[in-house]
Amino acid sequence: MIELKKLSNGFEYLEIQNDFATAKIALQGAHIFEYKRSGEDDLLWLSEVSDFERGKAIRGGVPICWPAFGLNNPELPQHGFARTSLFELVSSSEIDAETTEVKLRLTHSEDTLKLWNYKFELVFKVTISDKLTMELTTINRDEKGFKLTQALHSYFKLSDISNAVVKGLDKKLCFDALTDGNGIQNGDITFNQEFDRVFQKVENELILKDRDKTIKIDNKGSSSVVVWNPWIDKCKRMSAMKDEAYREFVCIESANAFEDFVIVKPQKKHTLKATIEFF
Ligand code: BG6
């Protein structure tokens, strides 16, 4: 089943259901804000107080940060403009009883050209099955090349932040946004304070362990990974987040950030792909 639904304020989203999983994807931002396998808990965290309103990013799920991660391009809003732009549904197909595929697209407009003066096509293909597969393809439709940073900013739901362990980043180079300095990660990551690091040269799979589940993240077309939890003080300052919400999630973002930027030449494309499996 694939249904286009609308909230009373006109905010539209797709609801998908097959034998393996259900998902909800907003047309604004092509934002996946729910994904769960049949009979299981949500994989993605969604803030109880998130906005679902034109022009405001959903807090939780998988925001698409594009064409800039964070403030990598200081001329653009934080995390770019895709997450608050309205995508169009290009296609949706029930491949079999267990697999549904949807494609959404954003193209340049007067508004985007004012912010970022390039013609583009951005296609997000999501495959909903017993795993979640996301493919973000940028096509350059301009006569000049452009530089891109981006992220699939996944918020993973946790039993509690004290149970979370991120594996696969030991000894990796990282930029620590809290100290504004570079360093090397020492060991697996656990959380007992604010954490905001961008890891570089990550070619391997990552594992997130929670109390009762293990999540495997496989990224292609990218070699940077952002790990973020706001902890107590930042959580209080953040929009659309309850004070205690930092306990409920960790973000592990599949990214092309900082030195891992991408240059897309005219008429060429680049795909960032993340496959999320869990056991
Ligand atoms: C992360 C950044 O990617 O996104 C954090 O590393 C930031 O520094 C977080 O706080 C959330 O950003 P926003 O714009 O959604 O509040």
CA distance 82 to 279: 31
> What's the CA gap between 231 and 67, in Å, rounded?
27
> Tell me: the pLDDT tens digits for 138-173?
999 999 999 999 999 999 999 999 999 999 999 999
Separation CA 241–CA 60 (nearest Å):
9
pLDDT score at 61: 98
Q: How confident is the model at residue 179 (pLDDT cuts 50, 70, 90)?
A: very high
pLDDT at 121: 98
* pLDDT for residue 271: 98
Quote the pLDDT of residue 150. Answer: 98
The three-class DSSP label of residue 236 is helix
Q: Note the pLDDT tens digit of each residue in 103-139.
A: 999 999 999 999 999 999 999 999 999 999 999 999 9
3-state secondary structure at position 73: coil
pLDDT at 67: 98
253 is catalytic: yes
| Mean pLDDT for all residues in the chain | 97
pLDDT at 258: 96
Q: What is the enclosing helix (H) or strand (E) of 128?
A: strand 120-128
Q: What is the pLDDT of residues 28-82, one digit of tens each?
A: 999 999 999 999 999 999 999 999 999 999 999 999 999 999 999 999 999 999 9
Q: Which amino acid is at 39?
A: G
> Whats the size of the chain, residue-wise?
279
Q: Residue holding tokens 């800039």?
A: 68
Token digits of residue 131: 């795993």
Average pLDDT over residues 194-209: 98
Atom of ligand 1 nearest to the CA of 65: 3
What is the distance between the alpha carbons of residues 32 and 46, in angstroms, rounded to a whole number? 10
Quick one: pLDDT at residue 56?
96
Residues in a beta bridge with 140: 120
Return the pLDDT at 211: 97
pLDDT of residue 19: 98
Nearest CA to ligand 1 atom 16: 238
Angstrom CA distances, 93 to 11, 13, 17, 58, 98, stand at: 22, 16, 12, 25, 11
Q: What is the pLDDT of residue 219?
A: 98
**Count of Cβ atoms closer than 10 Å to residue 174 Cβ:** 21
Residue 39 alpha carbon to ligand 1 centre in Å: 31
- Ligand 1 close to Cβ of residue 78 (< 6 A): yes
What is the DSSP code (8-state) at residue 175? E
Q: Is the CB of 190 under 6 A from ligand 1?
A: no
| Residue in 135, 153, 248, 270 annotated catalytic | 153
Q: What is the pLDDT of residue 161?
A: 98
Asked about 79 being catalytic, the answer comes back as: no
Per DSSP, the three-state class of 218 is strand
Beta strand ranges found along 149-199 (DSSP E): 150-157, 165-167, 173-176, 181-184, 195-199
DSSP state of 108: -
Q: Does 253 sit in the ligand 1 pocket, CB within 6 Å?
A: yes
What's the whole-number mean pLDDT along residues 87-101? 97
Ligand 1 centroid to residue 198 C-alpha, Å: 11
